[in-house]
Amino acid sequence: MIFSYNWLKDYIKKLPKPEKLAQILTMHSFEVEEVKKVGKDYVLDIDILPNRGPDCFSHIGIAREIAAVLALKFKLKDIKIKENEKKTKDFISVNAKDDCIRYTAKVITDVKVGSSPKWIQERLKVCGLRSINNIVDAANYVMLETGQPLHAFDLDKIEGKKIIVRRAKKGEKIISLDNQRYNLDSDILVIADAKNPLAIAGIKGGKKAEIDKKTKTIVLESANFDSRVVRRGSQKLGLKTDASWRFEHGLDPNLTELAINRVAKLIQEIAKGKVASGLVDFYPKKVLPKKIKLDLKYVEKLLGKKIPKKEIKRILESLGFKYKGNIVEVPTFRLDISLQEDLIEEIGRIYGYEKISAAFPVACLIPPKRNFEIFWENMTKDILKELGFTEVYNYSFINEEQTKVFKGAIEIENPMSKEQKYLRPSLIPNLLKNIKENLKHFKEIKIFELGKIFDSQGEKQMLTGATSDSFYQAKGAVDTLLNKLGISDIYYDEYHPGSFWQKGKCAEIKVSGEKIGCLGQISADRDRVSVVVFDIDFEELAKLCSEEHEYQPISQYPAAVRDLAILVPIDIKVVDVLNKINIAGGALVRDVDLFDIYEGESIGQGKKNLAFHIIYQAEDRTLSTQEINKMQDKIIKALESEPAWQVRRQ
């Protein structure tokens, strides 16, 4: 934004030299990009932050900031207009809608349109605007001075002597002051007379009511429009102007009256116009100053320095605030101020951040209450990643084909696609799709997902893994996971829930007798690849997790492993066999691992073969071969005490 140094001196007499002024502004949140001499004046190109547009896109706004920073006297020019007995409301009427926050109009008669005085032309040129005539130049001059865009219409060219603020009608057109034709629609706000648009509201004036040398009576417009409507209209038309730029950033509705009186006085001086008394002022919802309570202790705490109350009062009042007691009244031109913290930022900025010494903050750090749900989720994910699994995230939907196997899926009323027509009742179907697609590129896949499933009972958090490893490798991964989560008393109970699972390679995962999930191999006829899946109710699992682990010293004596195969009726549970082995083996049996289940014609109908690794180990000695053989025989004898059980010997 371009500013004239000489213009700023109109409000502050003892202004520092331009280069020094640029340094001061930069230290107080206004970056000065360039200082350049133009004739007898200097140009200051100041980068204004967007939130400061409402008050600082003007010479008055920047001058006020400079005065506050330097503790100098800031003075506005007196606006005393000599009005005649004719009234503005007798010349023109205004009809506005919701998109217009305020519309102020004033009439000036007997104007003499001509060239502007040299001093106005020079200041406009410094700020990048060309001189047109004394009426238009006066409006542009006051816009640069106050930040309020203004416009002048030739009253004799306004049909019906009515100004109507409305949305454009479909198919309406307007020719702008620079002879450009624009097609309008209902997204564009216009200023119209009784028949046609006169201007694009907040953006650009039209040709119809243009000021020319024949103009004798003018209507001055000083308005405030909805910034969103102006922004959308400007973007749609591809038209950016000094006026639209200011309206888009928001303006103080109370600025319209000050600006229109200022431009009326200027036109009275340079165009010899006669100002009609009063205003036509559409202002349905008056904007009042906000009031904010200011706590001086909080000011000190936030800034890290105690600033005297007298200095705080000076700073705030120099910026246009009113400070009484502990209440600060915010001027309506400061649209960016709404919180106590905003006020404190202003105090610190004007006081000078360089005067505030660096200091470590003093605060009480209270550790947050542990969220166990998230804690166990993260721990579970970390353990599985250590075991070589990769976490995946799938959509919470499945297609109709998948519902033939996974029953109870809830249909969605408005699905995004056919592939996402149902809420998933299980995490398994999408994991199987992941396995199938990735095996095209990798020999081995180990993936898991922790997410919600949905059925008629509601939703549930599940932990599901899928791997191309063997059933027993997957079982080992589940064992490791549960052990690292502090869960003991784990065992597997064989069951066969349906054709989806391979018979003899499916087991319930139980902890202390309660089922928490299942582990099984997908039926071979479902796909060409072998996939083993574990599916665990994570909500139940989280209840069993513990950070406490029982310490078990590693024995310094070696272990010995013996295999044992037993033929049992098909309805016998694995846990029953395990119990027999552990009771018979006693303390010398360190672990028993089921590594194979076989059913087939070779062993007879109604039978199955269970194969176990039995690990023998003592804590105080190395077991001899005789001791191990004796214990193995004892276990075989205990198993064969059941009439229908037969230990298979090679």
- Which tens digit of pLDDT belongs to each residue from 45-63? 999 999 999 999 999 999 9
Residue 76 maps to a domain: no
Q: Which of 101, 97, 4 is nearest to 59 (CA)?
A: 4
**pLDDT of the residue at 331:** 96
Place of tokens 């564009």: 188
345: CB partners within 8 A, 6+ apart: none
**pLDDT of the residue at 604:** 81
User: Is residue 276 located within the same domain as residue 385?
Assistant: no
Domain tally, the chain: 5
Q: Which of 445, 483, 492, 482 is nearest to 465 (CA)?
A: 445
Q: Per-residue pLDDT averaged across 382-411, rounded?
A: 91
Check pLDDT > 60 for residue 650.
no
User: Is residue 259 located within the same domain as residue 306?
Assistant: no
The enclosing domain of 307 has a CATH number of 3.30.56.10
**CA–CA dist 111, 273 (Å, integer):** 4
**pLDDT of the residue at 510:** 92
**pLDDT of the residue at 606:** 85
User: Is residue 274 located within the same domain as residue 310?
Assistant: no
Check pLDDT > 90 for residue 88.
yes
- Using pLDDT thresholds of 50, 70 and 90, give the confidence band for residue 108: very high
- The distance of Cα 8 from the centroid of its chain, to the nearest Å, equals 41
pLDDT, tens only, 547-581: 877 666 778 899 999 999 999 998 888 888 988 99
**CA–CA dist 451, 426 (Å, integer):** 9
pLDDT, tens only, 441-489: 888 899 999 999 998 889 999 999 999 888 888 998 999 999 999 998 8
- Using pLDDT thresholds of 50, 70 and 90, give the confidence band for residue 405: confident
The enclosing domain of 633 has a CATH number of 3.30.70.380
User: Is residue 126 located within the same domain as residue 226?
Assistant: yes
User: Is residue 347 located within the same domain as residue 380?
Assistant: no
pLDDT, tens only, 140-159: 999 999 999 999 999 999 99
**CA–CA dist 369, 363 (Å, integer):** 18
Q: Give me the helix-helix angle, 18-26 and 59-70, nearest 10°.
A: 80
**CA–CA dist 378, 88 (Å, integer):** 74
User: Is residue 500 located within the same domain as residue 641?
Assistant: no
**CA–CA dist 435, 529 (Å, integer):** 9
CB 217 within 8 A of CB 211: no
**pLDDT of the residue at 527:** 54
Residue 467 maps to a domain: yes
Q: Which helix (H) or strand (E) holds 102?
A: strand 100-109
Residue 224 maps to a domain: yes
- The distance of Cα 532 from the centroid of its chain, to the nearest Å, equals 40
Range of the domain at 120: 83-282
CB 199 within 8 A of CB 208: no
**CA–CA dist 74, 149 (Å, integer):** 23
- Using pLDDT thresholds of 50, 70 and 90, give the confidence band for residue 528: low
User: Is residue 104 located within the same domain as residue 157?
Assistant: yes
Check pLDDT > 60 for residue 525.
no
User: Is residue 176 located within the same domain as residue 278?
Assistant: yes
Residue 549 maps to a domain: no
**Collapsed DSSP state (helix, strand, coil) of residue 38:** strand
Angle at 133 between CA 128 and CA 137, to 5 degrees: 45
User: Is residue 480 located within the same domain as residue 585?
Assistant: no
User: Is residue 306 located within the same domain as residue 431?
Assistant: no
One-letter identity of residue 637: K
Place of tokens 């049992």: 568
Check pLDDT > 80 for residue 374.
yes
CB 2 within 8 A of CB 128: yes
Q: On the CB side of 494, how many CA atoms lie within 13 Å of its CA? A: 23
Check pLDDT > 90 for residue 11.
yes
The token pair at 442 is 């990798």
Q: What are the E-state strand segments in 498-559?
A: 501-511, 514-522, 532-537
